[in-house]
């Protein structure tokens, strides 16, 4: 079973990816990825299209298990000491602890309130007061409360794109996950909505371990503590964001972050 126990391991060992190789059918897309993610850090995954960023991200809550041909070839991903691919792991519980926000905001076609409390409903909570408190808490955490508090029972799809994405973040944080995965969370948003999501991530820093895929180098610089650069399914370099952008050790990284690698 996936047990979100009280933190027991040192930060450096919170989320180690070890020799992780992955394929779709016969097509290998990740090769021996070694990455140690620290508790409560914000880590950006960067690299050219098709290098495996989403595949790695989606392996961390095993949402990629839904792809029929997808398979782990070797290696492990651990979260606080638990090998998430071991047979005893309860995948539903894992996904509750490892939330995910997608590029295309995807609120359910229900009210704002129902989206905010979705996780609690699934967990069987029916007490009205508890649900109302949880909705307010998660909408406040997602910096959306003031904009929606008078229209909680309206359709979520009537919100602006940026608001819908913040609602998706509210839905994810309502479950109090340990880890939040975000796959290009601002790619469908305009610059103002993007700035609000970045502010929100900065506000939430320290409450969750964030792993964020982005094609936006400036965004990685603004929000990430650490950055991991991937190329053709391999991790090339993982370091403090300032180092990756200011003093990369690998030539490939330098070419990518300066826009000379296509
Ligand atoms: N469901 C799938 N079935 C088969 N192959 C897939 C599937 N998803 C991804 N791939 C392949 O795996 C490789 C890595 O894809 P992935 O989506 O992880 O890359 P990415 O770095 O997220 O790219 P992008 O920046 O374009 O989103 C690519 O060669 C892609 O074609
Ligand atoms: Mg992707």
| Site residues for ligand 1, CB cut-off 6 Å | 24, 29, 47, 49-55, 67, 69
Sheet holding 27-37, edge to edge: 27-37, 15-24, 70-79, 82-83
Contact 116, 134 (CB under 8 A): yes
Ligand nearest to the CA of 45: 1
pLDDT of 119 above 90: no
Mean pLDDT is lowest, of 8-12, 16-20, 69-73, for 8-12
Share of the chain above pLDDT 90, in %: 89
**Confidence grade of residue 261 (pLDDT, cut at 50, 70, 90):** confident
Class of domain 11-108+178-257: alpha beta
Report the pLDDT value the prediction gives residue 12, as an integer from 0 to 100: 64
pTM: 0.94
Ligand 1 pocket, mutate which of 20, 21, 26, 29 (most atoms under 8 A from CB): 29
Identify the pLDDT of residue 13: 81
- Cα 101 from Cα 170, distance rounded (Å): 10
Render pLDDT for 138-163 as a digit per residue (tens, 0 to 9): 999 999 999 999 999 999 999 999 99
Residues with Cβ < 8 Å from 257, sequence gap 6 or more? 46, 217, 229, 244, 245, 248
Please state the atom number of ligand 1 nearest to the C-alpha of residue 55.
18
Rounded to whole angstroms, the Cα distance separating 219 from 227 reads 11
pLDDT band at 1 (very low <50, low <70, confident <90, very high): very low
Asked if the model's pLDDT at residue 205 lies above 70, the reply is yes
Distance of CA 67 from the midpoint of ligand 1 (Å): 11
The residue whose two tokens read 């944080």 is 173
Residue 20 near residue 230, CB atoms below 8 Å? no
Q: How far is the CA of 118 from the centre of ligand 1 (A)?
A: 29
- Protein residue whose Cα sits closest to atom 6 of ligand 1: 24
- Phi/psi region, residue 228 (left: phi>0; alpha: psi -120 to 50; beta: rest), is beta
Per the prediction, the chain carries an average pLDDT of 93
Please report, for residues 14, 47, 226, 244, the alpha-carbon distance to residue 254 in angstroms, rounded to integers and kept in the order given: 28, 12, 16, 8
Mean pLDDT of the region 41-60: 97
Ligand 1 atom closest to 54 (CA): 22
Predicted confidence at residue 175, as pLDDT, reads 87
User: In a 3-state reduction of DSSP, which class is residue 59?
Assistant: helix
Closest listed ligand to the CA of 215 = 1
Best residue among 24, 71, 211, 216 to mutate for probing ligand 1, ranked by most atoms within 8 Å of CB: 24
Cβ atoms 211, 45 nearer than 8 A = yes
What burial letters (b/e) apply to 214-247, b meaning 16+ CB within 10 Å? Answer: bebbebbbbbbebbbbbbebbbbbbbebeebbee
Per the model's pLDDT, the better-predicted residue between 105 and 261 turns out to be: 105
Q: Whose CA is nearest to atom 9 of ligand 1?
A: 55
For residue 13, give the DSSP letter.
G
Ligand nearest to the CA of 33: 1
Looking at residue 7, its pLDDT comes to 52
Where are the domains positioned within the chain?
11-108+178-257
117 or 9, which is more confident? Answer: 117
How far apart are the CA of 215 and the centre of ligand 2, in A?
9
Q: For residue 123, what pLDDT is reported?
A: 83
């Amino acid at each position: 079973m996936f047990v979100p126990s009280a933190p027991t391991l040192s930060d450096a060992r919170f989320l180690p990816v070890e020799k992780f190789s992955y394929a779709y059918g016969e097509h290998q897309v990740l090769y021996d990825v070694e990455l140690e993610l620290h508790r409560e850090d914000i880590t950006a995954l960067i690299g050219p299209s098709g290098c495996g960023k989403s595949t790695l991200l989606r392996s961390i809550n095993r949402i990629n298990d839904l792809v029929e041909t997808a398979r782990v070839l070797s290696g492990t991903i651990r979260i606080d000491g638990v090998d998430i691919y071991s047979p005893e792991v309860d995948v539903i519980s894992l996904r509750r602890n490892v939330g995910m926000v997608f590029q295309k905001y995807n609120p359910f076609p229900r009210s704002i309130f129902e989206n905010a409390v979705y996780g609690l409903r699934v967990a069987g909570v029916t007490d009205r007061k508890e649900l109302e408190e949880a909705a307010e808490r998660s909408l406040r955490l997602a910096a959306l409360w003031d904009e929606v508090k008078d229209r909680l029972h309206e359709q979520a799809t009537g919100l602006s794109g940026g608001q819908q994405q913040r609602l998706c973040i509210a839905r994810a944080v309502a479950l109090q996950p340990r880890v939040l995965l975000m796959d290009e969370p601002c790619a469908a948003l305009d610059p103002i909505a993007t700035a609000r999501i970045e502010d929100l991530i900065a506000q939430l820093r320290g409450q969750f371990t964030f792993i964020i895929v982005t094609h936006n180098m400036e965004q990685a610089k603004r929000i990430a503590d650490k950055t991991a650069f991937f190329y053709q399914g391999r991790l090339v370099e993982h370091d403090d964001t300032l180092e990756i952008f200011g003093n990369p050790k690998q030539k490939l990284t330098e070419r990518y972050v300066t826009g000379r690698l296509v």
